[in-house]
Amino acid sequence: MCGILGAINILGEPLVADEGSCRRALTLMEHRGPDDAGEWRSADGSVYLGHRRLSIIDLSAAGHQPMCNEDGTIWIVYNGECYNFKELRAELEQRGHVFRSATDTETIIHGYEEYGAAIVERLRGMFAFALYDSRRHTMLVARDRAGIKPLYYAWAGRTLHLASEIAPLLAMPGIERRLDLRALREYFAFGKVYPPHTMFEGIFKFPAGHRATVDAAGMHQEEYWTPYRTALSFPADAGEEYHAGRLLGLLEESVRLRMLSDVPVGVFLSGGVDSTANVALMSRASGSRVHSFTAGFAGQAAYDERVHARDAAREYGTLHEEIEITRSDLVTELPWLASFLDEPVADPTVIPIYYLSRLARAGGAIVILNGDGGDELFCGYRKYMQFLRLAKPWRALNALPVSVRRVLAGAGRAAGLRGVRADLLDRAARGVEMYVGSTGPLKGTPAFEEIAGRGDELYEAVRSGRATFNREHRSPDYAEWLSYWGVRSEIENVFLYRADRMGMANSVEIRVPFLDHNLIEFAMQMPQEWKHRNGETKYILKRALAGVVPDRFLYRRKQGFNVPLREWAGGAMDAEIRAVLPRLESDWNAFSPAFLQGVLSMLGGSGVDANGALSWMLFNLAVWYRQWFM
């Protein structure tokens, strides 16, 4: 895992950014690559590539980037890991290509020479890269299928700037630091910002599963993968044994591939299904002792999974380390961590992931496997069961005229109805599809209504996601849609974002076995009834792991990686909110004068903020705003 920086003037004119500004921007990503740094500028000055290296594969100087082909006509900066690069290399060597390193980076260069932009579809792993072809003055830009590796871009005149994080882009000439008010409304509503937008006006997320060609006409994006692009075949009589066996095989292979490394590999362990599966399969694959890490919360037994993690560690004989997080850690570390967070994130798990990553790095593990994705792919949350039980009433509700749906939603709000049913009534009234995902603590309040009333774009991402799903694979099965949107929304924009930023804050690479694209395709295309049976979540995954993971881990009540916000909110957290948010309002005039007062009045109460979620969401926003705009 590394940090990349790039710029290309599409007309071939010299860049405005001089060597000093580019070097300063690259330095802002030193945490992403403490082992090496490199820069390259084309002879005509129209292209710049910069790289910070975290050495994982081929630790020698041969892995230095930017990297070029033999005659210096093709250059690349690359962030990620290609797990099938050895197979690709052998194929390319048979076609006459000569390699100078043992890196996966060089495989992409030779692959481009052989296959052009189609090389992206041959890569199995996580990646974001920019490859410049000087013969054509074009740049190929690509991001992995699930969006594990980040990539942002911005235009300054006729120059396209690219980077792994937003901070280096803001350091480049011609890119202004302005708050995107649409994105701010999304954050207040959902606790996150959907792509392609970011909290900075004019800076965009490059979409997952896409590649782009940049030439004199601009940037031409193309989606090269969806979970349904390659149709899988299933025997007509395929039953539980078939699906469980095939799933286990895919997961075993995915874990084995993600242990490919020239530096030590460890695992985050909670004692839940997904993380314990990782440990079990790592132990099988490695034949040596696995290094595991877990975090707990001081004095908060209801949120603490250390007892289960210790049980799993004993079961598999791991070298196990723990860290305890206090209320002070939660509040005092976030202001410093804001420098690593391009955007505020309402998910408090950023704090334990940061501490876990720091513990792993101190323990010598540079690469970490985690369990993100299992719940979304296999209906692992109890809320999935709630939504699926409401599928028939939902269809009946949406058969009613819009005017009737709006009246019902208004009546629900007036009656103080909250939770899943209130949420679905509101979505039906707005013509939004049912989905599992964060709706934000303001949902159902007058403040939310003001946000939603600013325009129809608030739910544009969900509407676009459903339209894409229908176009790719129209299905009446809500489990399939819920899994699809879970991966495209929560996983890509929350879980992977927090893992990347907090891992990289400690120069740790986090890999995600459940998000191997072959496994995603299988989970999305298999008959969905195998995911849930009689209210049991992750049915087929538990069957696949039977005999590999003991039942006490597979069938214990799901706890989740939660943080004691309710118990730890208030105090310094609220003080920061009240000190900073009025500045946000006065600086940008984003809402009505009564909006901020109404939101602040809900803090610390027994209603909207009973679980501390609003305090945390606003605290993140305040800390982030102070870091980037004050």
Tell me the backbone φ, ψ of residue 469, rounded to 5 degrees: -60, -45
Which amino acid belongs to residue 608?
A: V
Instruction: Please name which of 462, 196, 502, 481 lies closest in space to residue 347, comparing C-alpha atoms.
Output: 502
On whether the CB atoms of residues 538 and 531 are closer than 8 A, the answer is yes
The residues facing 133 across adjacent strands are: 74, 138
Tell me how far apart the alpha carbons of residues 235 and 241 are, in angstroms, rounded to a whole number: 12
Which amino acid belongs to residue 290?
A: V
The burial class, CB within 10 Å (0-12 / 13-18 / 19+), for 145 is buried
What letters, b where the CB count within 10 A reaches 16 and e where it falls short, cover 502-520? bbbbbbbbbbbbbbbbebb
Tell me how far apart the alpha carbons of residues 450 and 465 are, in angstroms, rounded to a whole number: 24
Tell me how far apart the alpha carbons of residues 92 and 26 are, in angstroms, rounded to a whole number: 32
Structure tokens at 263: 């530096």
Which amino acid belongs to residue 46?
A: S
Coil, helix or strand at residue 242: helix
For residue 425, give Cα distances in angstroms to 186, 407, 477, 499: 19, 10, 20, 33
Coil, helix or strand at residue 527: coil
Give the DSSP letter string of 458-484. Answer: GGHHHHHHHHHHHHHH--S-HHHHHHH
Q: Enumerate the active-site residues.
A: 2
In the chain, how long is the greatest CA-to-CA distance?
Answer: 73
Angle at 253 between CA 90 and CA 243, to 5 degrees: 130
Give the DSSP letter string of 24-88. Answer: HHHHTTGGG-BSEEEEEE-TTS-EEEEEEE---S--SGGG-SSEE-TTS-EEEEEEEEETTHHHH
Q: ω before 196 within 30° of 0 (cis)?
A: yes
Instruction: Please name which of 600, 215, 297 lies closest in space to residue 442, comparing C-alpha atoms.
Output: 600
Tell me how far apart the alpha carbons of residues 284 and 278 are, in angstroms, rounded to a whole number: 10
